[in-house]
Amino acid sequence: MSEQQGAPDQLPAGKSQGGASATYQVVLYELENFQGRKVELTAECKDVTEKSLDKVSSVMVESGPWVAFERQGFSGEQFILEKGEYPRWSTWTNSHSGYFLMSLRPLKDGAEHKLQLFEGPGFNGRKMEIVDDDVPSLWAHGFHDRVASIKALNGAWVGYMYPGYRGCQFVFEQGEYKHWNDWEAATPQIQSVRRVRDMQWHKRGCFTSPAPAPAPAPAPAPPAPPAAPTGSS
């Protein structure tokens, strides 16, 4: 990931924000549905092929959270892995741009979450502050597709290209992101954001996207018109 100004130094695995003790444990499987060769990790891995895996197609997160990447060296699209089971690629992303993982590392989080979004680069333009909340759509707050700079003041966050936590994911750890290139995005497009669920602070752990609203029931068919009277013979 690009270096962000104001971001704290990388903490060693096993430690979380604020100095509190935390554990990180994940099991990687080469094939879907937890099949094939497997490797257990408690610290970062820059290249899963160094662990005798050709790729990672399913994951079990015992404790975390973790951020995984589609390419070696913590590069490419990012994927958040909170506590839970991920039997295939569609359980950690819906962007359809990557189908397996090649590197991952523990992700720092905290008990509190505070995020500031800016419409322009360099923290200019329209501003929105989010405190301990998830926002499934930024449109209602005046951000029509464009978020060009971000300050993550507390906790870890995930931004998505589309409303409803869909599309490519971008991870924001505590620090300043003056330009969308700082979070390795090609465009300043973010339309939904949410907090990362760390089991140390959030007992549920894994984030579950809300189910879509049921479709409205079809309107009843209008009554048939009355039959025309029959003429007398």
pLDDT at position 212 is: 53
Q: Could you give the CA distance from residue 111 to residue 201 in angstroms, rounded to a whole number?
A: 5
Taking CA atoms, 90 is separated from 98, 189, 201, 213, 219, in Å, by 10, 22, 26, 21, 35
Domain spans, the chain: 17-106, 114-195
Pairing of strands 25-31, 66-71: unpaired
Candidates 3.90.110.10, 3.40.50.720, 3.40.50.1000, 2.60.20.10; correct CATH number of 114-195?
2.60.20.10
Give me the residues paired with residue 15 across strands: 21
pTM, whole model, 2 decimals? 0.72
Q: Are 181 and 2 in contact (CB under 8 A)?
A: yes
CATH 2.60.20.10 fits 17-106, yes or no: yes
As a whole number of Å, the end-to-end CA separation of the chain is: 91
Q: Is 114-195 in the same CATH topology as 17-106?
A: yes
Evaluated on CA atoms 105, 186, 158, 81, the torsion sign reads negative
Q: Give the pLDDT of the chain (233 residues) as one tens digit per residue.
A: 333 333 333 333 333 333 344 589 999 999 999 999 999 999 999 999 999 999 999 999 998 899 999 999 999 889 999 988 999 988 888 776 667 899 999 998 877 899 999 999 999 999 999 999 999 999 888 888 899 999 999 999 999 999 999 989 999 999 999 999 999 899 999 999 999 875 444 444 444 555 555 555 566 666 666 666 655 44
Instruction: Give the per-residue pLDDT at 31.
Output: 95
* Distance, C-alpha 211 to centroid of its chain: 16
Cis status, amide bond into 65, omega within 30 of 0: yes
- pLDDT of 217: 59
